[in-house]
Structure 1
């Protein structure tokens, strides 16, 4: 897991599971949580690719979950209350990118490969096999979390340029902006497949 990003990853995971609950049963919840956490870890590492980015995050904070909840029609929460304070660590961009990764295995593979160009390094978010090669059991455990139509209100955030592809292909300029290094982004992109179709349902 990317160092010092644990609060953001945990908050994004919790928000996704709260907004898009797992199927009934403890095993389903555990599988859905694993998928959400993997997506959040990869998204957070790309959103905050350097030590400086993480230091700035700790200085100004990630922004909270208010806008996400307004987009999904969820109840608003008082984040000053102790039981809701975790929502202050929700980064709407991390959640948006995680939603994209959960609904597009090809994009998830692209994102995983791009981790090598960050200071976190390749494999820093673990082996996100549940993102890149999700099984039928993964989909059964998290049908809402995996459904692109349900996640569409949050996976195209105006503030989230990190849709790592445009029109089905990797968007070099946007990925470079996320990671802050255009030449590295292009080098990483060259190793990846292009023209990946969106996940089908």
Structure 2
């Protein structure tokens, strides 16, 4: 775990929460927990790739993540960027200001394609220019090698066609980032 992960924690948590809200789990509490774990792992990998250094993470924390407004509009959710009840001014929705659109898009890419997820986790290995230095595939097993329970819990979150609208927003940037890491590594 990188030393700056605490700086990205609100961004990761909010983005994972948005993903699970947009693509809810199917089933009971166990399915919800499994879907949340998968979204959290995807958002973590995406955030570490997007903000690879402590300086990048600090700048993201300082300038803000941008919020979920565009993502909410894309999915037809009401009140994504308004103040007042249901908008960002609503204390119940303040967490949405921490959602990072690029991280959400990259996470959707990773969730809908385990092969891409494995490439992304490999890019986090020490020496690849990312601050990740993660424990590798085992730390992100629910993302890189989802079992039948993971897939059953999050069929909407992992369905390539359903997440395509979000994933396609910044997919090219993720692929370019991973390509750059494979050349540098």
Say whether 1:66 aligns with 2:95.
no
User: Structure 2: where are the runs of 5+ without partners?
Assistant: 81-86
The alpha-carbon distance between structure 1 residues 53 and 185, as it changes in their structure 2 partners (threshold 3 A), is farther
User: Structure 1: where are the runs of 5+ without partners?
Assistant: 165-173, 189-201
Pairing of 1:2-151 with structure 2 (within 5 A): 2=2, 3=5, 4-77=7-80, 78-116=87-125, 117=128, 118-123=130-135, 127-151=139-163
How many Å separate the matches in 1 of 2:68 and 2:164?
A: 16
Could you tell me which residue of structure 1 aligns to residue 173 of structure 2? 162
Asked if structure 1 preserves the Cα contact closer than 8 Å seen for 2:20 and 2:35, the reply is: yes
Consecutive aligned runs of 4 or more in structure 1 exceeding 4 Å deviation? none
TM-score under structure 1 normalisation? 0.80
Greater shift after overlay, 44-53 or 121-130? Answer: 121-130
What is the CA distance between 1:185 and its match in structure 2? Answer: 4.3
Deviation sequence 1:138-186 (CA, Å, 0-9, x none): 111111111111101100115x64332xxxxxxxxx2169xxxx5x541
What is the CA distance between 1:124 and its match in structure 2? Answer: 7.5
How many Å separate the matches in 2 of 1:131 and 1:148?
A: 14
> Aligned Cα RMSD in Å?
2.0
When the two structures are aligned, how many residues end up with a matched partner? Answer: 173
